[in-house]
Chain A
Amino acid sequence: MESNLTNKYIELNMGPQHPSTHGVLRLKLTLDGETVKKVEPVIGYLHRNAEKICELDFYCDALIYFDRMDYVGAMNMELGYLEAAEKLLNIEPPERVKWIRVIMAELNRIASHLVWAGAFGLDLGMLTPFFYVFEEREKILNLFTEITGSRQETNYMSIGGVYQDFNDKIIFKIKEFLNEFPKKLDEVYNLFVKNDVFISRTKNIGILEPEVALSYGVTGPMLRASGIPYDVRKDEPYLVYDKINFTVPISKKKDVLARFIVRFEEMRQSVKIIQQALDKLPDGPFFNPKAKKSLMIRLRGEGDVYARTESTKGEFGVYIVGDGSVKPYRVHVRSPAFKNLSVLPYLSRDVLIADMVAISGSIDLVFGEVDR
């Protein structure tokens, strides 16, 4: 056993209450002066047993637990669950609902990436952009309030439909927001990228080789920043993504800056997607009559199904097993943030503490999802 007296490394415990660990991540650092020798993430401080609780409720009730997983991008979580549950329960949502879901998911993707950009700025000691991005996010949340009645954990989508239909006023407001937004986005983008100090803090830091990323199961903007154009929306289209014209931004630079740029480019693509969806939004019912409220709790599913969607953090997979009763037998979640976090110890070998903070900031961690 190694004696403490001969140990030349400092053990430092970062978190779970620490300004740079998003939520409740705890990092056990082994430091040689300022250099990080080893990082050991400790998770589970926000574990709420969401998967197990889903088994105790009807199929339609699990949504609220999914809302609270990635609370920054709640729409994408609902969507991920519904993709699986609707497949299992054999309920096809009407055409209009599919487009509405795309719009909401992409709006929420923008909001989530904005929050990430602000928090990432804070990690690097940049206070001001945080307020700029939150101003824009607030506009999206106000739209959500108007459409769904709630800001973050919306519980908007339901099996076979959505809670409320879009009306002309909402469509006008979303269009108005989308006209203003790219200008504001460029402003924030320039605030970061035209700053030499920011570039020096992010360029060539935390280089993630594509092979390593694949072997760790990294997905989402992290993977795309390493140069692999994998996006579930494109490769395995769900809802109506195959009818929408958009590109998957990638970067060959593989570093923290590349992740930043990829996320901002994704927001621009999301704007494009929403604009097309608003133009193509068909008329029709906003829920499947087979799944109206009185019938919803009687839905029975049998067999097992796995569905993947592209959430804000990466590939979000939901696996549901049904045993023919009104409650799911098992619900399992493939959490993209959890998989992405697993690459942090690899990226943070022999870097400075400041770089380690930048790298962990670039992963986009939301602990509701990692711990579930």
Chain B
Amino acid sequence: MSLLTRIAMILSFLGHYPSYILAYIIETLIVIIFGTVVVAGMVYFFRKYMARVQMRIGPNRVGKFGVLQVMADGLKLIQKESIMPQGRDDLPYKVAPLLIFIALMMGFIFIPYGPLAWLGTLTVTHSDVSLVILFALIAIMPIGELLSGIVSNNKYAVLGSLRGVAKDISFEVPMMLSVLAIVMMASARGVSPLDINGVVQAQNIPFAILEPLGFFVFLISMAARASYSPFDMGESDSELVTGNTTEYSGLRFGMFYLGLFGTIFLGSLILSTLYLGGYNGPFESYVGFIWLLIKTLVVVVISLTIWLSMPRVRIDKFVTFGWKYLLPISFINLVITGFIILGGIS
């Protein structure tokens, strides 16, 4: 039984349809709150981890072990005056951070979280095309990045957003091609291939083992999407001040900041769903959600370690890398996938 039906049963005094609609809204809220809490937790975890790597202590003043530091910082950002540049294009300036943040939060809805004990499956949306919608949402984020740069009336911001867009274009095509390989694999197994849930069910063997090349391309793409070092060209914080977010302050800056960490988490979640078997685990999938979280956390730690140990790649080199290496690799991956399907290994 899924969480949705469980909530709907509690609300059944409202009648059939209203109860289901309300249950759906409640579940969506739960997932969005889950996303926000996890992202805030990740900021704390990141700061602690970063501090340990750099031989520091990290936040330890607010709350026990500094766990409330993120909350304090959030409150501070909300209280702060939002200083806005003169000569900005007002509407896009205000919409840009929202665009990134909302697209990110909506992304969490389409992930199949799997079953958790008696609560049942936590998957919110059972759509036949959830994979397509998810990547459409991810494709919205560069628009926010571009808008924020070109409307803030700042040369650093323009340069930053141009770099960001150049980066986005060069990794997104290989990323979609590697996703295409997954869809091929899933459809060969007879599940509905555009549904992420179907992709997860198709992974008796995780796709990372069957398609190591695709996994590699997707890992890099997700790192580039989240734009942390070495792929933080949009931000380039020692060259272009902070790139496209230079003119943002207060809560709007907070949205970009959460967007960064949220994208790391969402990216890791998608990576473990599409390539590492999602909620499938060695034991009966009674606690699939826990498996998913463990896998995600491992990917997150890997991402953060990459972040902390790399200098920034120069933008022209990344564009070259994207078109000259990632794209051919993802094509080769497609061909190999075709052979795997023909050979019937899947």
Do A and B make up one complex?
yes
Asked if A12 and B155 make an inter-chain contact with CB atoms under 8 angstroms apart, the answer reads: yes
Q: Does A126 contact B (CB under 8 A)?
A: yes
Contact with B along A344-357 (1 / 0, CB 8 A): 00000000111101
Cα of A126 to Cα of B241 in the assembled complex, Å: 15
Which residue of chain B has the shortest Cβ distance to A202 in the bound complex? B311
Asked if A201 and B314 make an inter-chain contact with CB atoms under 8 angstroms apart, the answer reads: yes
Which residues of chain A come closer than 8 Å to B240, judged between CB atoms?
A: 353
Q: Does A128 contact B (CB under 8 A)?
A: yes
Which residue of chain B has the shortest Cβ distance to A10 in the bound complex? B155
Give the bracket for the number of chain B residues in contact with chain A: 20 to 34
The segment from A116-124, A252-260, A277-285, A307-315 found at the interface with B is A116-124
Q: Does B10 contact A (CB under 8 A)?
A: no
Q: Does B79 contact A (CB under 8 A)?
A: no
Which residues of B, 223-280, contact A by the 8 Å Cβ criterion?
229-230, 232, 236-241
Cα of A130 to Cα of B312 in the assembled complex, Å: 15
Asked if A201 and B239 make an inter-chain contact with CB atoms under 8 angstroms apart, the answer reads: no
Which residues of chain A come closer than 8 Å to B162, judged between CB atoms?
A: 34
Asked if B309 and A124 make an inter-chain contact with CB atoms under 8 angstroms apart, the answer reads: no
Which residues of A, 97-116, contact B by the 8 Å Cβ criterion?
none
Which of A10, A124, A354 sits near B315, CB closer than 8 Å? A354
The interface residues of chain B, by DSSP majority, are classed as loop
Asked if A135 and B313 make an inter-chain contact with CB atoms under 8 angstroms apart, the answer reads: no
Which residues of B, 83-106, contact A by the 8 Å Cβ criterion?
none
The segment from B26-34, B53-61, B330-338 found at the interface with A is B53-61
Asked if A34 and B238 make an inter-chain contact with CB atoms under 8 angstroms apart, the answer reads: no
Which of B53, B230, B239, B308 sits near A353, CB closer than 8 Å? B239
Asked if A19 and B230 make an inter-chain contact with CB atoms under 8 angstroms apart, the answer reads: no
Which residues of chain B come closer than 8 Å to A128, judged between CB atoms?
A: 53-54, 308-309
Cα of A125 to Cα of B230 in the assembled complex, Å: 8
Which residues of B, 154-173, contact A by the 8 Å Cβ criterion?
155-156, 159, 162-163
Cα of A132 to Cα of B155 in the assembled complex, Å: 34
Asked if B311 and A126 make an inter-chain contact with CB atoms under 8 angstroms apart, the answer reads: yes
Asked if B314 and A20 make an inter-chain contact with CB atoms under 8 angstroms apart, the answer reads: no
Which residues of chain B come closer than 8 Å to A191, judged between CB atoms?
A: 309
Q: Does B317 contact A (CB under 8 A)?
A: yes
Which residues of A, 1-60, contact B by the 8 Å Cβ criterion?
10, 12, 18-20, 31, 34
Which residues of chain A come closer than 8 Å to B241, judged between CB atoms?
A: 18-19
Asked if B56 and A200 make an inter-chain contact with CB atoms under 8 angstroms apart, the answer reads: no
Asked if B311 and A125 make an inter-chain contact with CB atoms under 8 angstroms apart, the answer reads: yes
- A132 touching B55 in the complex, CB below 8 Å, given contacts A34-B159, A123-B238: yes
Which residue of chain B has the shortest Cβ distance to A131 in the bound complex? B54
Which of B55, B155, B229 sits near A125, CB closer than 8 Å? B229
Which residues of chain A come closer than 8 Å to B56, judged between CB atoms?
A: 131
B197 CB to nearest chain A CB (Å) = 37
Which residues of chain B come closer than 8 Å to A132, judged between CB atoms?
A: 54-55
Which residue of chain A has the shortest Cβ distance to B239 in the bound complex? A357
Which residue of chain A has the shortest Cβ distance to B314 in the bound complex? A354
B115 CB to nearest chain A CB (Å) = 39
- A135 touching B55 in the complex, CB below 8 Å, given contacts A125-B230, A127-B308: yes
Q: A12-B156, A34-B163, A195-B311 are known; give 14 further A-B pairs, CB within 8 A.
A: A34-B316, A125-B229, A125-B232, A125-B237, A126-B310, A127-B54, A127-B308, A195-B309, A197-B230, A197-B312, A200-B313, A200-B317, A352-B315, A354-B236
9 contacts between A and B (CB under 8 A): A12-B155, A34-B315, A34-B316, A122-B238, A125-B230, A125-B310, A128-B53, A128-B54, A135-B55
Q: Does A198 contact B (CB under 8 A)?
A: yes
- A19 touching B238 in the complex, CB below 8 Å, given contacts A12-B155, A127-B54, A353-B159: yes
Cα of A241 to Cα of B239 in the assembled complex, Å: 40
Cα of A125 to Cα of B310 in the assembled complex, Å: 7
Which residues of chain A come closer than 8 Å to B156, judged between CB atoms?
A: 12
Q: Of residues A121, A125, A135, which shows the largest number of chain B Cβ atoms within 10 Å of its Cβ?
A: A125
Q: Of residues B236, B308, B312, B316, which shows the largest number of chain A Cβ atoms within 10 Å of its Cβ?
A: B312
Asked if B315 and A197 make an inter-chain contact with CB atoms under 8 angstroms apart, the answer reads: no
Which residues of chain A come closer than 8 Å to B54, judged between CB atoms?
A: 127-128, 130-132
Asked if B238 and A125 make an inter-chain contact with CB atoms under 8 angstroms apart, the answer reads: yes
Cα of A121 to Cα of B229 in the assembled complex, Å: 13
Asked if A354 and B308 make an inter-chain contact with CB atoms under 8 angstroms apart, the answer reads: no
Contact with B along A179-221 (1 / 0, CB 8 A): 0000000000001000101101100000000000000000000
Asked if B312 and A124 make an inter-chain contact with CB atoms under 8 angstroms apart, the answer reads: yes
Which residue of chain B has the shortest Cβ distance to A132 in the bound complex? B55
Cα of A355 to Cα of B239 in the assembled complex, Å: 10
Which of A10, A12, A20 sits near B238, CB closer than 8 Å? A20
Which residues of chain B come closer than 8 Å to A198, judged between CB atoms?
A: 311
Which residues of chain A come closer than 8 Å to B311, judged between CB atoms?
A: 121, 124-126, 195, 197-198, 201
Cα of A198 to Cα of B239 in the assembled complex, Å: 16
Which residues of chain A come closer than 8 Å to B314, judged between CB atoms?
A: 200-201, 352, 354-355
- A124 touching B238 in the complex, CB below 8 Å, given contacts A352-B314, A355-B314: yes
A22 CB to nearest chain B CB (Å) = 11
Cα of A163 to Cα of B159 in the assembled complex, Å: 52
A169 CB to nearest chain B CB (Å) = 27
Cα of A201 to Cα of B236 in the assembled complex, Å: 14
Cα of A10 to Cα of B314 in the assembled complex, Å: 20
Cα of A355 to Cα of B309 in the assembled complex, Å: 20
Contact with A along B297-319 (1 / 0, CB 8 A): 00000000000111111111100
Cα of A195 to Cα of B230 in the assembled complex, Å: 11
Cα of A20 to Cα of B240 in the assembled complex, Å: 9
Cα of A131 to Cα of B55 in the assembled complex, Å: 7
